[in-house]
Amino acid sequence: MDAQQTKFSNPFGMDPDCENCPALCDRRDRVVHGYGDVGAEFLVVGDRPTAAAERNGIPFTGADGGERVQSLFADLGFVRSGPAATEPDVQNVFFTNLTRCRHPERDPTDEEVATCEPFLNAEIRMINPQIIVPVGERVLRELAIAYTTRNPGSFDIGTEHATTVRGRGFELVPMRDPAAMTDAEATAFREHVRENVLSRDYRQTKGRRSR
């Protein structure tokens, strides 16, 4: 955790009452900004808050896949609390989403993703991670536009899950939607990160500030 950080939840003070997407304002319970270590080398990005994450106000917590993600990163040494924690104790990882509000009946629209993009861009710029974990196919393709030289349409999450994709200044380690992830896929992700990312000097991808 960064020595100057005072809290994990929305540490950059982003607008908790954002009203940039009128169609969401009356349907959401709250805005869910990023959570975690501002000096993290790993940034985990989903498409939107799940129902459980919206209740907790923290991305990737609770049911609908959050507990599985917390368990995976606990096994890797980045989460020091149990998978059911609603305010995880984390180190070297930051959790966030493409969009910050949840519509209870549909996925985010392209316009909503574009409207929320400055929030994600600001987090990426301020955190300066080495590894970005796109969770799900939509996130992988959205990040591919900005951070790889490949055609976004060439990405398939089933093929890219638990692999490393060279990006522009980052490496992407895609993850299948945790709500649909099998035990074998969870094991493959954990083992890939442990054996192919943590076991080498992944910092060589980009110049890193001293920690």
Instruction: For 114-129, write each residue's pLDDT tens digit.
Output: 999 999 999 999 999 9
d(CA 205, CA 110): 30
Residue 2 pLDDT class (50, 70, 90 cuts): low
121 SS3 class: helix
135 SS3 class: strand
Mean pLDDT of 28-32: 97
pLDDT digit string (tens) for 53-106? 999 999 999 999 999 999 999 999 999 999 999 999 999 999 999 999 999 999
pLDDT digit string (tens) for 183-203? 999 999 999 999 999 988 776
Going from the N-terminus, what domains does the chain have, and what CATH number goes with each?
A: 23-199 (3.40.470.10)
> Residue 205 above 60 pLDDT?
no
With residue 113 as reference, give the H or E element that holds it: helix 110-127
